Amino acid sequence: MTSPIKPPEGNWWDQPVNRRESIWLGLGVGWALVLFGWMSAFTRIGDQNPIGETYRVTSEELQERVDEFEAAAEERDDGALVPAGDDIYVVGYQFDWDGLPVVLETGREYDFHLGSYDVQHGFSIRPEHAYSQQINLHVTPGKEWVVPMEFDEPGTYHVLCNEFCGEGHRGMHNTIIVED
Amino acid sequence: MSHALDVFGWFDNEYDGEGFRTCSVTSFDVHRSVENYVKLYGVTAVVFLLIGGIFAFTIAMTRWEAIGLLEPGDYYRHLSMHAWSMLIFWIIFMEIAILYVGGPMVLGRKLPAKWAAAAGYVVMLAGSVLIYYSIWTVSGDPTSDNAPLLTAYVPLEINPLFYVSAIVFLIGVTLAALPFLLTLWDEKRENPGKTLPLVTFGAFVAAIIAVQSILGGLIAFGGALAWQLGYAPWFDASIYRQWFWIIGHGTQQINLVAMIVVWYLVTHVIGGAEVVSEKVSRTAFILYLFFIVMGAAHHLMVDPGLSAGWRIWNTSYAFYGATFASLIHAFTIPAGLEAGRRKRGKGGGLFGWLTSAPWRNPVFASSIFAIILFGFLGGITGVLMGQLQLNMSWHNTFATVGHFHSTVVLGTTLTFMGVVYFVIRTMFMREFVSPKLTTLQPYLYSGGMALTALMMMYVGILYGIPRRTAEVVENIPGTDFSIAGAAPLFDVFGLVAIFAIGGGALFVLLAVGSLLFGDRIEPGDGDLAPDGGSTTQQATDSRTIAPRNDLEQAEDPDDPVHAYEMRGTFVLCLIFLAVFVVAYILNWFLLTQLWSIGA
Ligand code: HEM
Ligand SMILES: [Cu+2]
Ligand SMILES: [Cu+2]
């Protein structure tokens, strides 16, 4: 009567449900609400959210902005840029990150302008002192994504690309130097 | 009655005048037309599994950089071959076979529109060969001719022939699915008042999701092609990603539903499971139907240009509707086994129903391991990485690869391997060449693959190792930096991957060996009986042999299955939920250790 390969007979809809099964259904609903509730609440109360304004841009416009940013910044002996303000640019192209390396200060909030000149790339960043602390964001051409970040620990942060973007993809590396 | 071309005697079962025979294991009325196409699609699928497996070896040995088998340019071609052979060809050819089982075979009907099954097969095969050609001939020039990998993301320059071939393949799948849909149409017209069996109902849900996915795929690949040819300059990376993931994610949900259908079927036919509540199980399938298409969004969690509200709503399938559906099946399938076996006196105590189960039967073992490993490894990680914020620590890392090898390999592939064994025994009517090894194979493969997937997750989450790259641990070209700390873990990864590939190779050997050299089982041979059939007949442990008559469906309406104890299942589910909660908290803990990010 209750075979999955035979049509159920009679009024199968009104068959009672086992008590433990009902309890499990209740637990399932509860857990689903926790998952949803926490994820939504964290956008308000949490410090780690992949959220920021996005603007449409062409590659040429983006290139101009990065050029302006680099011109305004001060270049150190090691080639790293010390930005003039709180905006910094990290723009992927085959096969490097434009706008890097930069020198940032701990405890100061920067607006990261993420984008791409050509194909899709993956912005993947981790500090040299703790690989497990890593953040990954996707970048697409045609979009400038402004995501604020504030570092609390000094160190060298390595930016890799983790979206396949052509044969040189594996060499797409640059750094962000965070100092006190 | 063998056909002249049928040199292996694969298509020569005895049928009655109408072309039907009754299966001694499932008691299905099997029509020749259905059975022959199930065999054809199934055997073809195994060939693709073999091809994909060869590439699994080359890419795993490249990611194990101590070996470093392939040059980077070759790596991406091999990775593309692996992904398309496995995820698309092996799985979808199997799924067409499963649709034919779930529809016409379960309902005891002929295959309608046989021409569509034949044409679908030819077109799918042609699409596959074209896709192989367009992958293998890639030059690797970044500005003009890149390997597509699975995703072929616009605006990476990819051979237009690739998109054309993908569309050809999709057209083939549509044709091949037609006989299934027509079967349901005919069945409903002839028996309007009759409810479809649960397995058929589930297969129908899978087919509807397939229609959605195919439409998404046509827009994605067609749009990409139009963009390449200059007809659609507005088609961009973000639009492609949304449509691509309608098919990319949709096909994973087809895998999920198809595999759940198989689980209901296998636990019933071989383990004596019953359906503890038609209402609950069917509602779960309906929830999939409503919510699953939204899941495409969880590939876009860290994409620019999408509001947080949109991402949260979609990634959660509207308040986790589809996750809830999976939690339901996580209970009802083992509960069906527990209650069904208790009812037949096959289970004392808390877990007697489980310990007495036919563990030596490879069809059964494959499905049960798939249920467990898919749930614990694939399901939990899927929900974790699908959360808006947690996705930042998973996206495009090797951990993502670990997640989907837990779903499509530990879940789908393992389940489908069991289906192939089942088809060999009950439709090709062949004994396994080595019953002992066949019993062992699901243990080896699931063990090796589970470790492989865990290692992938480990290096991905705790070392931030990126996916889709040939070099990152030993050397990153152009810099002194490399994630060298992960090298020892990759040694472990490489070894367990070889082990897993060995388990997969053993499957192909056993399947093909049995088809070619296995003794023929004569019709009416009693040993095809489920628990006593398969390799368990050799078992000396009497507990593993449960004669068919014991497992006969109990017909007594005064003895309803829902009234039987489900304690064991309940405990297992609570353990599952506890692991889920702990993994959830751990992931969130790791995330909150990070510097602050986001508006
Ligand atoms: C023993 C078996 C297997 C091993 C050792 C293995 C190993 C791997 C490795 C190392 C990668 C590449 C990761 C990267 O660089 O991003 C990969 C990718 C992949 N594998 Fe497997 N795999 C196996 C079986 C399977 C099966 C059975 C399926 C599907 C049913 C599958 C589907 C995929 C897919 C879809 C990708 C992603 C390709 C892409 O990024 O475009 N694999 N696998
Ligand atoms: Cu890249
Ligand atoms: Cu998905």
Q: Which of A17, A139, A161 sits opposite B562 (nearest CB)?
A: A17
Judge contact between B204 and B269, C-beta under 8 A: no
How do residues B66-88 score in pLDDT, each as one tens digit?
999 999 889 999 999 999 999 99
State how far the Cα of B124 lies from the Cα of B130, in Å rounded to an integer.
Answer: 10
Closest-CA residue of A relative to B570 is A20
**Domain boundaries, given as residue ranges, for chain B:** 31-530+557-594
Residue A119: which of B156, B553, B554 has the nearest Cβ?
B156
| Binding site membership of B401 for ligand 1 (Cβ less than 6 Å) | yes
Is there an atom of ligand 1 within 6 Å of B79 CB?
yes
Ligand 1: which residue has its CA nearest to atom 9?
B60
Ligand 1 atom nearest the C-alpha of B62 is 10
Lowest mean per-residue pLDDT among B96-110, B218-232, B553-567: B553-567
- Compute the distance from residue A58 Cα to the ligand 3 centre, in Å: 30
CA distance B595 to B236: 32
A63 vs B: CB within 8 A: no
Residue minimizing CA distance to atom 10 of ligand 1: B60
Q: Could A35 and B387 be called an inter-chain contact, meaning their C-beta atoms sit closer than 8 Å?
A: yes
If one counts every other C-beta atom within 10 angstroms of the C-beta of residue B407, the result is 22
Look at B156 and A25 and tell me if their CB atoms are within 8 Å.
no
Q: Is B149 in the pocket of ligand 1 (CB under 6 A)?
A: yes
The residues near B357 (Cβ < 8 Å, ≥ 6 apart) are B271, B337, B341, B364, B368
Q: Give the H/E segment covering residue B423.
A: helix B414-426
Residues of chain B in contact with residue A165, where contact means CB-CB under 8 angstroms, are 142, 156
Asked whether the beta carbons of residue B597 and residue A147 sit closer than 8 angstroms, the reply is yes
DSSP readout, B220-273?
HHHHHHHHHTTS-TT--HHHHHHHHHHHHHHHHHHHHHHHHHHHHHHHHHHH--
Q: Is the pLDDT of residue B366 over 60?
A: yes
Q: Which residues in chain A are closer than 8 Å to B389, comparing Cβ atoms?
A: 39, 42-43, 46, 48-50
The pLDDT of B350-378, averaged and rounded, is 96
Closest CA to B87 of B122, B51, B62, B119: B51
Residue of A90, A116, A134, A157 best to disrupt the B interface, most CBs of B under 10 A:
A134
Measure B256 CA to ligand 1 centroid, in angstroms.
18
Q: Picking from A36-40, A68-72, B335-339, B543-547, which range would have the lowest pLDDT averaged per residue?
A: B543-547
Residue B302 is which amino acid?
V
Q: What is the pLDDT of residues B273-291, one digit of tens each?
A: 999 999 999 999 999 999 8
* CATH code, B31-530+557-594: 1.20.210.10
DSSP assignment, residue B345? T
How remote is the CA of residue B319 from the centroid of ligand 3, in Å?
17
Report CB contact under 8 Å: A173, B397: no
Ligand 1 atom at minimum distance from B503 CA:
1
Please, what sign has the CA dihedral across residues B117, B123, B125, B131?
negative
What distance in Å separates the CA atoms of residue B514 and residue B518, rounded to the nearest whole number?
A: 4
CA angle B552, B411, B62 (to 5 degrees): 150
DSSP string, B195-211: PPPHHHHHHHHHHHHHH
pTM: 0.95
The residues, any chain, with a CB within 8 Å of residue B319's CB and separated by 6 or more, are A32, A33, A36
CA distances from B75 to B28, B38, B135, B192, B248 (A): 46, 34, 12, 54, 22
Q: Which helix (H) or strand (E) holds B467?
A: none
Return the residue in B70, B302, B572 with the most chain A beta carbons within 10 A, the one to mutate for interface testing: B302
B388-399 average pLDDT score:
97
Q: CA-CA distance, A168 to A173, in Å (whole number)?
A: 11
Residue B4: its pLDDT value, please? 80
ipTM: 0.96
CA-nearest of B330, B403, B412, B332 to B370 is B412
CA distances B328 to A29, B153, B257, B286, Å, are 10, 35, 13, 12
Alpha carbon of B254 to ligand 3 centroid (Å): 11
Rounded to 10 deg, the angle between the A19-45 and B567-592 helix axes is: 10
* pLDDT given at position B525: 56
DSSP B150-196: TT--TTS---HHHHHHHHHHHHHHHHHHHHHHHHHHHHHHH-TTPPP
In the structure, what pLDDT confidence band is assigned to residue A144 with cuts at 50, 70 and 90? very high
Chain B touched by A119 (CB under 8 Å) = yes
Provide the pLDDT confidence category of residue B2 given band limits of 50, 70 and 90. low
Q: Say if residue B526's pLDDT is above 50.
A: no
Strand partners, A135: A125
